[in-house]
Amino acid sequence: MEPHIVDDLSAFKLAFRRHAAGVAVVTGRTPDGTPVGFTVTSLASLAAVPPLATFNMARISTAWPAVEGTTHVLIHLLGARNRALADRLSGPHDERFAGDHWAPGPLDLPLLKDVPAWMIGRIVERLPVADNAVVVVQVEDGGLGPEDAALLYHERAYLIPGSPVPD
């Protein structure tokens, strides 16, 4: 039927190139209080009762010690107006919290300003898989900012949602 790829990495890359994902930023603090954060396209709902969500990360990332050593993180859902935040929180580490785009929020966690929504997540599972981890959080609380179009990442570009697909 369809052309067969017969190469695991190509199959993975070519398939995910056709995938689109919402953009979020996870923030936390290392045990010594240093703010850390990173942009993710892997945020997903796991259940509503109790409210559970997942995100994926590399355990070789500089943010892993913070996620490994903390009880809570903040998860920010980005809108189109937050594109610069997505870039900043995936850019050089020493620039991620240089500026006034954040302030200490609940539990003293770094809260990004002007996002459409954020959630406080209590980490309930950290599943190591090879050099990576799946992190499961239970949402305990959150807040809302002004509404905005959702920020999407697709084919290495930032986009907003487009036309509805009819039945």
Q: What residues from 39 to 58 belong to the interface with a copy of itself (CB under 8 A)?
A: 41-56, 58
Q: Which secondary structure element, helix H or strand E, spans residue 16, and what is its range? A: helix 8-17
What distances in angstroms separate CA 6 from CA 1, 13, 16, 47, 64, one per listed residue?
A: 14, 13, 16, 35, 33
Report the residue number, 53 or 66, with the smaller CB distance to a copy of itself: 53
Considering only residues 74 through 133, tell me which ones interact with a copy of itself, judged by CB under 8 A.
75, 77, 79-80, 83-84, 87, 103, 105, 111, 113, 115-120, 124-125, 127, 129-132
Judged by CB, which is closer to a copy of itself: 29, or 118? 118
Considering the complex, what minimum distance in angstroms separates the CB of residue 32 from a copy of itself? Answer: 25
Residue for token pair 């850390």:
36
Q: What is the dihedral sign for C-alpha 21, 23, 28, 30?
A: positive
**Pick 94 or 155: Cβ nearer a copy of itself:** 155
Neighbours of 109 (CB within 10 A): 20
Segment 130-159, which members bind a copy of itself (CB under 8 A)? 130-132, 134, 136, 138-145, 147-152, 154, 157-159
